[in-house]
A = this chain, B = another copy of it.
Amino acid sequence: KRSYNVTLLPGDGIGPEVVAVAKDVLSLAGALEGVEFRFQEKLMGGAALDAYGVPLPEETLTAAQASDAVLLGAIGGYKWDNNEKHLKPETGLLQIRAGLGVFANLRPAAVLPQLVDASTLKKEVAEGVDIMVVRELTGGIYFGQPRGFGTNNKGENTGFNTEVYSASEVDRIARVAFEVARKRRGKLCSVDKANVLEASMLWRKRVTSLASEFPDIELSHMYVDNAAMQLIRNPKQFDTIVTNNIFGDILSDEASMLTGSIGMLPSASVGESGPGLFEPIHGSAPDIAGQDKANPLATILSTAMLLRYGLGEENAAKRVEAAVTETLNNGFRTGDIYSPGTTLVGCKRMGEEVLKTV
């Protein structure tokens, strides 16, 4: 029997509710495919700030690093919004990404046939959209040095950050993206701002030169402003998108909203080796926390990504995804994706329905 250690990081807001449900689905899907899980739960984000005064305790990072995969719920909440930077829940998130070296963030945005009406796009535009954004996650302006506050030559306060990429940082994320495109429809669009930024010029040059290693992939380049437009004009033109950390932050959220159902969207962050980090893209939704209203499907689908990209357990991954599809086909909906004629359920009940079909 194959056996894995999974670190659970429920986090804040609705995080604990959705992780609890997803854990059960992961266990069952694994068991049915001869896979066993040992879980350990650790604190991070606001929960860790309250308990230990830091957003990512050393103990949490060490445990995560020592495990085979990490499942994160969500972090943040009003309570910590005005904290200083090093005491923000978000800082814990950046620290665990860096600490695990998960430089490749995969964010699928697909419009499900059952939920096409949830999109604010016209049906004919939304139907069939299936995009994977591959975002660089441990470099660029999020981590670049120097950064901070200073004074300019007029004696004024300034705030500054550095957008920087090295050749190998671009190469490794581009390789992941080419491989992802190869398993999808064979089209890769690299997004940058190479008409203005040197960091983007290097990016484009490296991505272009890697293309010869992937002759079967159709590579194109697009400026980020145009990409923001094209996602709305004709999202079906995109298969796989690769881009830097900040552009990926913006464009993956834009792409996800095209589906109209961000409560459904998972993500995977992986590195060269070591455990990956898997999490729903939605936030901690403090306003509905603890009310059994959250949609657990994004976290459940994140366990499918954990199985596929984190552990190579493709069969169990497919089992989870099929269960989610069947549950939707059975008409069960949480509030965020409810429409007349379907059955409104809470977080726990949705989990039970998925379990039945696993």
Contact = CB atoms under 8 A, between A and B. Distances in A.
Contacts of A196: 90, 94, 142
Given A229-B256, A233-B120, A251-B228, A160 B85 contact: no
Q: How many copies does the complex hold?
A: 2
Question: By DSSP majority rule, is chain A's interface helix, strand, loop, or mixed?
Answer: helix
A115 interface: no
Interface residues of A, number: 62
Contact of A161 (B159, B163, B228, B234): B163
A158 B154 contact: no
A254 B197 CA distance: 20
Contacts of A159: 164-165, 197-203
Interface string A247-265: 1011111101110101000
Contact of A262 (B201, B229, B260): B229
A249 to B, nearest CB: 5
Contacts of A88: 195
Contacts of A202: 149, 157-159
Interface of A: 85, 88, 90, 94, 120-122, 125, 141-142, 144, 147-149, 152, 154, 156-168, 193, 195-203, 224-226, 228-234, 246-247, 249-254, 256-258, 260, 262
